[in-house]
Amino acid sequence: MLAEPQKYIRAAGLIFVLTFLCAPVSRGAVVVFDRVTTVGTPVYLKVLTKGLLFSQGGRRVEIYLDQKKLKQILTGGDGYGYLKYTPLRAGFKRIEARADGDNASGLMLVMDKRDQAIVIEVEGAFQTSFLSKEEREAGRKAVETLKADYQIIYLSRYLGAGLLKRWLEKENFPESALLPWQGPEMLAALQAKGVKLHAMIASPALLSAAADHIERRYTFEETEDGQKVKDWDEILKLLK
């Protein structure tokens, strides 16, 4: 397992690399958060309105789902706005928010309650992929293979979700919802929505935090709270 100083150096390195690999970060005045739920289970669509530097509340935002307008909402004093929605069919739905000429989009993954999901921490699972084309291609092909049998839920830990989503798109990884890591409580919240969490591929710290929620936990680093694997081929053998 990496020592603490090395972890911080690695995280700083990822920020540096991704900043130059991806398109410039937009200072969009609206942010849409990806969501995950199951058929028939309500979920709150979440948006954030921003000024030049800080959140800006009290703005009217029109929410669209797959280009169909749902409702206009008003963001609170903290800039956040919510709209409750109950999906009736499984699949991906595109969320769009429009406010005074500004717009942004996100993705909602609606799972069938029989489906199982594999949770992948982008920084932890693909840390060598940011600099190695060979490792990147191996990871991409493995996720494509897993997606045939499982739903994929990406997690961001150190880096912003927007930056990581641009990198995943640029490198042609399978599209899916990307959620910011908010501790084991977020895993419990997903399970409360009926999401079956079959396995996790992540850094040792996240595997430890997920011990009470996910039985199959894999990492490419030394760990005491999961299983260390050699490469993506070993993961495929374990999960296929």
Domains of the chain, with CATH numbers? 30-111 (2.60.40.10), 115-239 (3.40.50.1000)
Q: What pLDDT shows up at residue 239?
A: 95
What pLDDT does 18 receive? 54
Please state, in angstroms and rounded to a whole number, the distance separating the CA atoms of residues 26 and 136. 25
The pTM is what? 0.88
- Alpha-carbon torsion angle 72, 73, 74, 77, nearest 10: -150
pLDDT reported for residue 53: 72
Q: Cβ distance 80 to 46 under 8 Å?
A: yes
What is the pLDDT, as a whole number, of residue 205? 95
Beta-bridge partners for 48: 31, 80
- The predicted pLDDT at position 9 comes to 42
DSSP 186-215: HHHHHHHTT-EEEEEE--HHHHHHTTTT-S
Separation CA 96–CA 214 (nearest Å)? 32
Tens place of pLDDT per residue across the chain (240 aa): 444 445 444 544 555 455 545 544 444 589 999 999 999 999 999 999 987 778 888 999 999 999 999 999 999 999 999 999 999 999 999 999 999 889 999 999 999 999 999 999 999 999 887 778 899 999 999 999 999 999 999 999 988 888 999 999 999 999 999 999 999 999 999 999 999 999 999 999 999 999 999 999 999 999 999 999 999 999 999 998
